[in-house]
Structure 1
Amino acid sequence: MRRRVVWGLGMGLVCGLIAASVPFWPVRQPYDHKAAEQRFANQNSKLVERGKYLAVMADCAACHQSPDGAPYAGGLGLETPFGTIYGSNITPDKQAGIGKYSSSDFYHALTDGIRPDGAFLYPAMPFISYHDMSQADSDAIFAYLNTQQAVVRKVPPNTLPFPFNQRWALAYWRLVNPPIRLKGDPTALAGAYIADVLGHCQECHTPRNFMGGLVQSRAYQGASLGRITAPSLTPKALADRGWTSEDIQSFLKKGMAPQGTMTLEMYPVLMHSSQYMQDADIAALEVYLTKGRLPQSSARTAAEPDQRAITQSAGRDVYISVCAGCHGLNGEGKPHIAPAMNINTSAMLADPSNLIHVIVNGVAEQKMADGEVMQAMPGFRTALSTQQIADLVNYMRKEWGDQPADITSMEIERAQH
């Protein structure tokens, strides 16, 4: 009897949590079907073109393309601490894609994380960020997606262990992880709408709690992405690393700035999204992130070697041996070949994981905007010992990042697995 009571109480609590998730989720105006009917009745090339641009700003292709590159056909795996989640097929195929969705179904999936059958979407889909997307913008994206080729491709099932494979449990997750809300009129908050909603930048650059929810009180303070880290984008952090407004806009538009090039998780952002954004939207995004506190530009000159830069050390020896040929004797870099390291963000971060990852694994050739190409960098996983890599990392961090030279060979060994 006691077990039945405990079981009943437990089930009651679960049911209560599920029921409670709806009123606790922020309430908006209901979907305006009349406005949607008028919008789609007057559907024209302008609506579809607007939807195409919004899909670019929202970077839909980065997660929803297929492994072989088919647009929006799904199947790319996203590794999370809880298992692997596969991007869905969002082509207009009626069986494998969203061909049976209404515009209202699409809007609720995009902004509320709820499928037409009522099941919760996993927050790998950034509905936490998309929550304040306007219905007009959602409808435009839906109109654009419905002009794409329908692809009959079923994506692999998610590989999530129990209890993470129980979608109903997301009811509790939603109780304690509310969506990002814009503070004010979205039409007057262009930069915030681009960064926090469409661009969903906080999904990578804001720390997460133990449940994988965004810690919104620490917005843009940087976050671990597993083997690498997304750096802080606060105005102070950007200023401390020497970024200017001009640098940030160049980085987003061209994938290149004096502080480095777009690599790792940011490279798909350039490929599918930021290089195609209008200059005015890039500028609005930059002003929102920096709060207008950075200088417009910097009168930089080529780095002059000083006594520290020519001090002999084990790390310096490794750098001269395997890095200087491309990155320059004193880390000044070579245009069109390799970025400068003496002002590179990866050497300045307190977390060394990005620098270690690139040295260990290398970087594939990068095709940037405007036809610019940065050559491939080999990884040194086997060419250098873990101690040599540690010495190299310590040298670069100390000389060019003002960071402590405290990386050990054991940390390098862990990063290699």
Structure 2
Amino acid sequence: MRIAAAMGLVGLAFIPLAGQAADDSVIERGRYLTRAADCYVCHTAEGGAAYAGGRPLKTPFGTIYGTNITPDDETGIGLYSEEDFYRALHAGEARDGHQLYPAMPYTTYRLLTREDTNAIYHYLMSLEPVEHEAPDSELNFPFNQRWGLVFWNLLFLESGSFEPNPERSETWNRGRYLATALGHCGECHTPRGFMGQTQEDKYLGGSNLGRIWPPDITPQALAERGWTPDKLASYLSLGLSRLGAANGEMFPAVIHGTRYLTDADLDALISYLLTGVETPKTPSETIASADPKQAEGDPAPARLTYMNLCSGCHRSNGEGIPHTIVPLTSNSTLRLEDPHNLIAVLLDGIPLQDFPGHARMQAMPGYAQQLDDSQMAELVNYLRTTWGGQPGDVSVDDVAELRRSEARSAE
């Protein structure tokens, strides 16, 4: 599930009014913080008004809809006070007292400082009200019983606030605050238990939420896939790097969120994410291509499939086209130990994506109709062994399961 937030991300321009000059800086800071908090995506329906809610958030327990967080009195948060808003973000409790579902990550936002929470509140209250009632959530029993969240919170909602590590630098602590509180990276990138709680002993170790699984972004895992500070900076600010393009839920997270981070905050976030590892070498130096003969079956048919379907864009040597087609020779998805995301992309394709600047990734077609499970497994193994440094052990059953899961979600 895409983790929702009780905030918006990118807003309508604030028009200063006479006598409010002293508040302008607070509102502008609030706008920056809501962007850093990655909130716009969950509270804006496709084709709908910004922040007016209605976006469906599919979870293992049913569908939750992002709420209206414009300052409309009837359908939004127009009647919320600073204290009401703070309680929603820190305790998961709405103004009328009902419990919020933890798809709104109050378990993480509880780490936000009061100053930051207030700034976000004043930014949201400066926006144009939009009258729009978001649909009611559609959760399976017993998860549709909100009173049960009282007990969930007793088990999993910790108290306390963000505490800097005195043994770390100011930059590192700022990066940790951005990742753990504002950016709430762990809400997607940390595996969850059977009750939906994050497994903190596996923090940032990757999860199986959504069609494209959030990968392991612990420092060592990032380094092993070839991520360096400069490549992470490019990815988080532009959505692109030599290691690939933002896809799935990361695309809107970059477009509406991390691209707006200041240089200082971007450096701080990267410092935290790459903590404890030596500066990794480039992917070509750290990950040697495996022998294609290791792949299950004869690699020759897979090479022919690649040349027929993929080489026109990615080139026969896998180098791609700058700013248009990502290279495969250094692609991070190919280097993931679990082939799930690679299989999903080959089955489903990727829509056309416009990135900041002049880069535009062409749409990639899905090949679910053109390739059967055996052909798909051969192609996946070819890509993983040729450019991913991974074993060619993807089976027909692996492909079939992802094909079935997509069919089930479409029902």
User: Residues 353 and 179 of structure 1: is their aligned pair in 2 closer, same or farther, counting only changes over 3 Å?
Assistant: farther
Distance (Å, rounded) in 1 between the aligned partners of 2:208 and 2:52: 29
| Residue 195 of structure 1, CA deviation | 0.4
Q: Deviation of residue 270 (structure 1)?
A: 1.1
Deviation at 1:383, TM superposition (A): 1.8
Query: Between Structure 1 and Structure 2, which shows a larger proportion of helix residues?
Result: 1
Name the TM-score, length of structure 2 as normaliser: 0.86
Q: Aligned to 1:84, what secondary structure does the other structure show?
A: strand
Return the offset for 1:262.
Answer: 0.3
Match of 1:184 among 157, 161, 164: 164
User: What corresponds to 2:249 in structure 1?
Assistant: 265
- SS of the equivalent of 1:56 reads helix
Letter in 1 for 2:65: Y
Give the AA of the match of 1:349: L
Cα deviation for residue 381 of structure 1 reads 1.2
Give the alignment partner of residue 266 of structure 2, picking from 282, 290, 296: 282
Structure 1, residues 77-133: CA drift from partner, whole Å, max 9, x if none?
000000000000000000000001001101110121111222111000011111110
| Number of residue pairs the alignment of both structures matches | 377
Q: Which residue of 2 aligns with 1:26?
A: none
The letter of the residue matching 2:126 is T
Q: Equivalent residue for 1:414? A: 401
Retained in 2: the 8 A contact 1:229–1:351? Answer: no
Offset of 1:314 from its aligned partner? 2.3
Aligned equivalents of 1:91, 1:43: Cα separation in 2: 22
* Percentage of matched positions with identical amino acids: 42
Contact kept in structure 2, 1:77 and 1:84, CA below 8 Å: yes
Over 3 Å counting, the alpha-carbon distance change for 1:82 and 1:308 in structure 2 is closer
2: CA distance between counterparts of 1:219 and 1:306? Answer: 30
Residue correspondence of structure 1 range 43-82 to structure 2 within 5 A:
43-82=22-61
- Which residue among 375, 388, 392 is the counterpart of 2:379? 392
Q: Distance in 1 between matches of 2:72 and 2:290?
A: 62
1:19-58 deviations in Å (ceiling 9; x for gaps): xxxxxxxxxxxxxxxxxxxxx9985211110110011001
Match of 1:335 among 313, 322, 328: 322
Alignment partner, residue 170 of structure 1: 149
Residue 239 of structure 1, aligned match among 220, 223, 247 = 223
Q: CA deviation at 1:227?
A: 2.7
Q: How far apart are the structure 2 equivalents of 1:95 and 1:67? A: 22
Distance 2:316 2:338 in 1: 25
> How far apart, in 2, do the equivalents of 1:316 and 1:299 lie?
22
> Corresponding residue for 2:358?
371
Q: Quote the Cα distance in structure 2 between the aligned partners of 1:304 and 1:179.
A: 44
CA shift for structure 1 position 402: 2.6
Structure 1 unmatched runs, 5+: 1-39
Q: Partners of 2:37 and 2:218 in 1: how far apart?
A: 21
Aligned to 2:182: 198
Please say which structure displays the higher CA radius of gyration. Answer: 1
Aligned partner of 1:131 in structure 2 is 110
CA distance in 2, matches of 1:305, 1:233: 22
AA matched with 1:168: W
Opposite residue 122 of structure 1, the aligned amino acid is Y
Which residue is 2:199 aligned to? Answer: 215
2:235 to 232, 235, 251: 251
Question: Which residue does 1:21 correspond to in 2?
Answer: none
1:295 corresponds to which of 263, 272, 279:
279
Q: Which amino acid aligns with 2:131?
A: V
TM-score w.r.t. length of structure 1: 0.85
Matched, 1:225 2:212: no
Partner secondary structure for residue 139 of structure 2: coil
Name the CA distance, whole Å, in 1 between partners of 2:312 and 2:146: 52
- For the residue of structure 1 that corresponds to 2:32, the secondary structure is helix
Specify whether residues 367 and 297 from structure 1 end up closer, same or farther in structure 2 by C-alpha distance, changes over 3 A only: farther
Q: In 2, distance between residues paired with 1:351 and 1:299?
A: 18
Distance of aligned partners of 1:169 and 1:299 in 2 relative to their CA distance in 1, 3 Å threshold: closer
Tell me what 2:71 maps to: 92
Deviation of 1:183 after TM superposition, in Å, equals 3.8
2 CA distance for matches of 1:108 and 1:198?
A: 16
> For the aligned residues, what is the CA RMSD?
2.5
Provide the rounded CA distance (Å) in 2 between the counterparts of 1:148 and 1:54: 15
1:324 to 1:195, Cα distance in 2 relative to 1, 3 A: same
Given that residues 42 and 53 in structure 2 are in contact (C-alpha distance below 8 angstroms), is that contact kept between their aligned partners in structure 1? yes
What is the distance in 2 between the residues matched to 1:305 and 1:317?
Answer: 19
- Are the counterparts in 2 of residues 65 and 75 from structure 1 also a CA contact under 8 Å? yes
1:119 paired residue among 94, 98, 104: 98
Distance 1:232 1:193 in 2: 19
Deviation, structure 1 residue 297: 7.1
Change (3 A) 1:211 1:317: same
2:388 partner amino acid: G
